[in-house]
Amino acid sequence: MKYRAILIHGYAGVPKDAWRPWLRDELEKRGFLASLPSMPHPNHPKEKEWVKKIKKEVKHPDENTFLVGHSLGCIAILRYLESLGTNEKISGAVFVAGFSDDLNIPVLSPFFETPIKWEAIKTHCKRFTAIYSDNDQWVPMRHAEIFKEKLNAEIILRKGMKHFSTDDEVEESLKLPSALTAILNMAKVA
């Protein structure tokens, strides 16, 4: 069976923004089945709708499945992993500008009404990489330490990438080789 990668955009995002199309294409060149689903109501996201959409996209979680999230897509992936059954697992997850609280953005607060079940998440996925920028205007660097502590995530720090979005006007935001490398490294040990 082929490896699968599902790339989840963030709040107010669209699937084909920034580095996601590039990453999908690079993964497909290497034999992955890669998809860029459009998350429901991106400007007014609801946790249950986003988790349901990820479930629909993944269908059957297995050792050939990788998830990549950007910003709010990261917490959606964490909530999805919490929802999996006892023997359901994926191979790995890559978080780009991930965070663990609502960042004082009211529309995101409902995603954080219940504590994150870090231990449950680790039973459904063993390999995590979290990528951050040193000048992200939305996600403080403290989240890198949280993801490292709670998930034993490999942390990658990129300089000057802001929030890894096209509207940040960072030329490099159209590619994210560190995300590609993270998935390929995870696949080698899957």
Is the predicted pLDDT of residue 2 greater than 60, yes or no? yes
Domains and CATH numbers, the chain: 4-188 (3.40.50.1820)
The secondary structure element, H or E, covering residue 133 is strand 127-133
pTM, two decimal places: 0.96
Is the predicted pLDDT of residue 190 greater than 60, yes or no? no
Is the predicted pLDDT of residue 168 greater than 90, yes or no? no
Model confidence at 68, pLDDT cuts 50, 70, 90, reads very high
Give me the helices (H) in 11-152, please: 20-29, 47-58, 72-83, 118-124, 142-151
More confident residue, 1 or 120: 120
Distance between CA 85 and CA 28 in Å, rounded?
Answer: 29
- Alpha-carbon torsion (160, 67, 94, 101), positive or negative: positive
Edge to edge, the sheet with strand 154-158 lists 33-35, 4-8, 65-70, 92-96, 127-133, 154-158
Model confidence at 159, pLDDT cuts 50, 70, 90, reads very high
- Amino acid 1: pLDDT: 66
Model confidence at 170, pLDDT cuts 50, 70, 90, reads confident
